[in-house]
Structure 1
Amino acid sequence: MKIFYRTAATARGGRSGESRLDDGSFAVNMVRPDSGETGVNPEQLFALGYAACFDSAMELVAKKLGLSAKDASSTVEVGIGQRQDGGYALDLDITAHLPGMADDDARKLVEATHEVCPYSHATRGNIEVRLHIDTKDV
């Protein structure tokens, strides 16, 4: 595989520490979801990255399919829970907001996007991912 881009991040202190991009451009305080402290957790960061990646892939796929994805957006909800074997797993819902698009076109676009998106590829087969479509006008 030809790598187009690579980045690195370093975490110190896990869910109660700090995470930062190694180039110094972004850093966040990490907190546990139930702590009441100010900061973010890994699931929120994953949701941000996945939503941006999916939305970008959806723009690309819409052009290839000859569809207009004007005013489109993507929402990714990330849950975390404990597996029966004691480990932990993520659970995902992706909603593609495609105002005014015909339902059949929207479904075709979202399914094709889910095949192209690198995050979708990385999660396929090991994380429950449900796709949703919202075609209501804003």
Structure 2
Amino acid sequence: MASRSPPAHPLNNQSGFNPEEMIALAWSTCFKATLDTILKEKGLNHLSYVDVTVDLHKEPEMPGYYFAVKGQAAIDNMSLDAANALVQEAHARCPVSKLIGAARSVSLKAVPYKLS
């Protein structure tokens, strides 16, 4: 997907997409598709959701910035332990997870399924 909107600058409120939004969109979309594929392969008819937040932080001891990327995934009608096993399996298979998963500022956890 290519964006024709000018990117937003991280230090002001200009319009456009910012890198945080693009990273969150890429990981949440890919991870959700991977998780749903695993559920289907296992014959499990469960709803799931994935939530990803990305925040820009200033490096504390050097020039520059870094992204703190936090992912949460939930599967309905499943224990947290069973959901966590599937979330970790999806994390190992998701192409975007493979790209960002080793970064020290990336976290992922299974959470209880709640309807909003």
- Paired residues for 1:47-66 under 5 Å: 47-66=24-43
Residue of structure 2 in register with 1:79 after alignment? 55
Q: By how many angstroms is 1:33 displaced?
A: 4.4
Give the number of aligned pairs. Answer: 114
Q: Which 10-residue stretch deviates more, 106-115 or 60-69?
A: 60-69
Residue of structure 2 in register with 1:14 after alignment? none
Higher relative contact order (CA 8 A, sep 6+): 2
Q: By how many angstroms is 1:129 displaced?
A: 1.9
Q: What root-mean-square deviation, in Å, do the aligned CA atoms of Structure 1 and Structure 2 show? A: 2.1
- Paired residues for 1:72-111 under 5 Å: 72-83=48-59, 84-111=61-88
Q: Point out where structure 2 has 5 or more consecutive residues left out of the alignment.
A: none
Residue of structure 2 in register with 1:18 after alignment? none
> TM-score when scaled to structure 1?
0.70
Residue of structure 1 in register with 2:17 after alignment? 40
- Whether contact under 8 Å (2:74, 2:83) holds in the other structure is no
Q: Which has the greater radius of gyration?
A: 1
> TM-score when scaled to structure 2?
0.81
Q: Point out where structure 1 has 5 or more consecutive residues left out of the alignment.
A: 1-6, 8-20
Identity %: 25
